[in-house]
Amino acid sequence: MAEHMNTFVRADNGMEGRLERPSERSRRVAEARAKFRAIRLPYPRQDELVAALDELRLTGQLSKGQTQGGVRLIANTGSGKTVGAERFKSYVEAAGEHAPGSQPVVIATVDGSGTTRSIPASILKAMGVPRPEHGAEPVLWMRAFDALERYETQLLIIDEFNRAARRPTMSSAIATALRDVMDRGIVPMAFLATEEARDVFKRSPDLAGRLDAPVTMDPLDWLVEEDRELFVGFVAGLDRELMRQRILRTSSGLAEEALARTLCEAANGNLRQLCRIIETALAAVVRRDDLAIASEDLADAVDDWSIANHCISYNPFRAK
């Protein structure tokens, strides 16, 4: 009897009557989540970022030793800027046009302390240098300069630069330190940040004046034709991948106009929110071993994830 209390019957899988333990079900859900998170789809807004980063990198290569430039991308969390930077890094590394052992693209994430000392430490950490926080601030900067030159870095990407705004008394000093990196001709730089970073650039006109025209990656607006096409294309790609990778057995119709429009509203036009909604719905579908994601699954996912995480205050799926 105890054994049967730890099992349940799977249905809709051609194996009706088979007993499945909760641990087996949990593994199926976990595997589906992992496969979903590994999906990588082309996204034109990221292509624009990749192109801007590559232009900056190549310009730096042709002007070594001279004052280097930079570019900034300010966009909401979940817009895809970090994924775009990682795509660019993989693209450059795959091209194989750099010396063995070098690090042509470095993505350094600013930590939450918001101090000038944290910046060189973040760079050293991103490059895998031992004891990245060892030493006083001037020593850390010298170690970072040395590492960037030794590993022949062609572009330094500073992610989460908005964290520099958390301590206003330090933000100008951080901006000045990074401007000095470009002025020394060490490497061109890209800054990925949310809206908070605008104050840093306003307080640091010397840094802002060295940057190219900003790259934009705004949320997708269903009422704008180009944005609508991008959104529909993206969810259609997700639907195809869910079937191609055998995560689900039939199409969920995510690109159907009415469903896609409601999804876009529920996700605030934000790709990360969209993916979390779909993943949450997917987990429920796989848990009950169903064929595809239904509208009710998405409605439940908005309740369970979007509203619970204060991304939206109402459920568009239930407001119809």
Q: Which residue has the tokens 């199926």?
A: 28
Strand 19-20 vs strand 105-109: parallel, antiparallel, or unpaired? unpaired
pLDDT of residue 8: 44
Burial class (CB in 10 A: 0-12, 13-18, 19+), 131: exposed
Q: Do the Cβ atoms of 139 and 117 come closer than 8 Å?
A: no
For residue 320, what pLDDT band results from cuts at 50, 70 and 90?
low
- Enter the pTM of the model: 0.78
Q: What is the per-residue pLDDT across 49-89, written as a single tens digit (0 to 9) for each?
A: 889 999 999 999 999 889 999 999 888 887 888 888 999 99
Q: Do the Cβ atoms of 293 and 256 come closer than 8 Å?
A: no
For residue 269, what pLDDT band results from cuts at 50, 70 and 90?
very high
Distances in Å between the Cα of 293 and the Cα atoms of 104, 118, 282, 284, 301 are 42, 44, 6, 9, 11
Average pLDDT over residues 5-31: 67
Q: What is the separation, in whole angstroms, between the first and last Cα of the chain?
A: 46
In this structure, how many other beta carbons lie within 10 angstroms of the beta carbon of residue 88? 24
Average pLDDT over residues 165-183: 78
pLDDT at 99 over 70: yes
Average pLDDT over residues 290-306: 96
Q: Do the Cβ atoms of 286 and 28 come closer than 8 Å?
A: yes
Single out the residue of 103, 189, 187 nearest to residue 151, CA to CA: 103
pLDDT of residue 5: 34
Q: What phi, psi does 171 have (nearest 5°)?
A: -60, -40
